[in-house]
Chains A and B, each alone.
Chain A
Amino acid sequence: MTTPAPNPSAPGPSAPALAPAPAPAAVRRTSGRRRGRTRRAPGRPGSRRNTRLLHWIAVHTGAVAAALFFVLPFVFVFLTSVMSDRQAMSGELWPHGWHWSNYTEVFRTPGFLDWWRNSLMYALLGTVCTVCSSVPVAYALAKFRFRGRRTAVLLVISTMMLPPQVVVIPMYLVWAQQFHLAGTLWPLIIPMAFGDAYSIFLLRQFLLTIPKEYVESAKVDGCGELRTLLRIVVPMAKPGIAAVSLFQFFYCWNDYFGPQIYAAQNPGAWTLSYGLETFKTAHSVNWNLTMAATLLVMAPVILVFFFAQKAFVEGVTLTGVKG
């Protein structure tokens, strides 16, 4: 059973099913009189155009300012990553020379490629385990009717809200002392094979939107529950499963606390998140190298986003804003 969420580090938000919005009572309903009326322009036509122009300028100035806030950090990180050692400490903004060798030096740092491999393995295995175990649970919670379903859903939601630090100490003791798995990432992956609360919740929201006629027609055809799930529901739930997979993948990719607890003592098991932090500690004043490493850690996620935009967008509309 993995940790928290709503995933702070997973891409894509998740708006839940909402109750229909209440009608704004303060506005008088004039629908009856509306038909046939043209738009009334308050004041002179010229000033209305000016207002709209001012409005456009204000909005787009704000947009540019906001864009600067969001984009400039990347720019500065990149510029610093190609500076020389000395210049990176000087506070200057534009690099004198373009030291692309910084990137090769980061790659040659002992362990850097191991971190990649470990992050990838953790994320892939974690995602597969999560999806395989969460889909049946979500399906049961969405489609089966049984007393205690509401309690189960409430329990799932409460587990989502649990800080991982609450249970980490005894879990660590068991993994380290009974199973001798400290220094590996298995203590993080294995629990994912038993369902992940956040994924279950999201999948359930999605499965709720599948009309029960499909399920029932399958049953009439003689399908057992398992076959119904595999043959009928899963193909229909592909967008939801894709989105949940993405969330879980990036949750694992971004995870810092888990590797810090379980993998810290074995540098061969470090992931990118943990490794990046120790990288800075080891290169205390080489900000240029640290920035290069930072960019290399940020880049994959952003690249994947650009290629998988559709799945991200699905994630946004996963549960539908309006249920």
Chain B
Amino acid sequence: MSLTQRAADPAALRRKRARERWCTLGFLSPWLVGFSVFFGYPLLATVYFSFMHYNQIEPPTFVGLRNWAYVLTQMPLFGPALWNTVWLVVVMVALRVAFGLGVGLLVTKIKAGVGFFRTAFYIPYLAPPVAATVAFVFLLNPGTGPVNGLLARIGIHAPNWFNDPAWAKPSLVLLSLWGIGDLMVIFMAALLDVPREQYEAAELDGAGPLSRFRYVTWPNITPIVMFAVVTGVVQTMQYYTQALVAGKLASGVTIGPGSQIQPGYPDHSTLTVPQLVWSLGFQNFNTGAACVLSLVLFALAMAVTTLLMRKRAGLLAAED
């Protein structure tokens, strides 16, 4: 039977279409189930709990908008958490992209020992975040860390890094710049993909290095830069591990008399919204308030996502 003949039979066609539909559903089923169970349900439950008082021991009781009023107006930590998160998103993403681009550019220009340098620049990215944070808290320890020791020898009075409210966030940014490997590699790939002819044409036209960058390099790598910005923003909005671990370790709080881990040490300067959600939910066991804050975080994430999706940032393939 020829293909056209097969297609002409309506019953067979219907069966084929039905089979295709089942096939699609079948292949998608793991994700469909996962999406509803591990995303849809918790989201609805979070909304539900945001109107409840629940300390995970006694049954939940309905309290209306009390949790909302509390989180949005009566919780002094709400403002700092939001501010810190926004600060980190803006500063960390901007600096990471710029530094990653710079390092990527540098690597493309290295002639001697490219392999060594490239590996050396990349390896810190592989360090697990907790390990990297522990290392940096030690290195930047104002009293006993090597960095301050070295700086003192040169005569520079170094700041207190993770123990100084004004320097804690910059120290976290420094930590993230250390792990620039991933951005460096994608920028490198993008830079190397710029067509040679365009550079040569520009050179022949007498364009200096700055103009070459502005008119040849930049337009070619803009999509990658946008991608880096988008993913950076998404990542930093969830910034949790490094800030929490750095705060815990820098405060030197051991489990001892009257001590309680306070996220955001020093002075709530590194407190981010995700950390506050954890603190409300798992330190104070105030489930209702934690859920309210989760929804605020969700709204923020969705707002940013839709904004960035508008610009596509190359996330969808051409055929979509």
Chain A residues in contact with chain B, CB under 8 A?
1, 4-6, 8-9, 11-19, 21-24, 26-31, 34, 37, 40, 56, 59-60, 62-63, 66-67, 69-71, 73-74, 76-77, 80, 88-93, 133-134, 136-137, 139-141, 144, 146, 149-150, 152-173, 177, 191, 193-195, 200, 205, 208, 225, 229, 250, 253-254, 256-257, 260-261, 272-274, 276-277, 280-282, 284, 287, 290-291, 294, 297-298, 301-302, 305, 316-317, 321-323
Contacts and interface: CB of A to CB of B under 8 A. Distances in A.
Contact of A137 (B31, B143, B200, B277): B31
B282 interface: yes
Nearest to A150: B320
A62 B106 contact: yes
Contacts of B139: 73, 76-77
Contacts of A284: 252, 254
A18 B224 CA distance: 8
Nearest to A155: B35
Nearest to A58: B109
Given A63-B106, A323-B317, A161 B215 contact: no
From DSSP, what is the main secondary structure of chain B's interface residues? helix
Contacts of A92: 149
Contacts of A305: 123, 126
A279 to B, nearest CB: 9
A73 B38 contact: no
A4 B234 contact: yes
Contact of B131 (A40, A158, A167, A298): A298
Interface residues of B, number: 121
Contacts of A140: 24, 27-28
Most B C-beta atoms less than 10 A away, residue of A159, A168, A205, A301? A168
A172 B245 CA distance: 21
Interface of B: 20-21, 23-24, 26-28, 30-31, 33-35, 37-39, 41-43, 45-46, 48-49, 56, 103, 106-107, 109-113, 117, 120-121, 123-132, 134-136, 138-139, 141, 143-146, 148-150, 178, 182-183, 185-186, 189-190, 193-194, 197-198, 200-202, 204-205, 207, 215-216, 219-220, 222-224, 227, 231, 234-235, 237-238, 240-241, 245, 248-249, 252-255, 273-274, 277-278, 281-282, 287, 290-291, 294-295, 297-298, 301-302, 304-305, 309, 314-320
Contacts, number: 342
Given A165-B294, A287-B138, A298-B128, A158 B305 contact: yes
From DSSP, what is the main secondary structure of chain A's interface residues? helix
A191 to B, nearest CB: 5
Given A15-B190, A60-B112, A163-B238, A194 B131 contact: no
Nearest to B42: A167
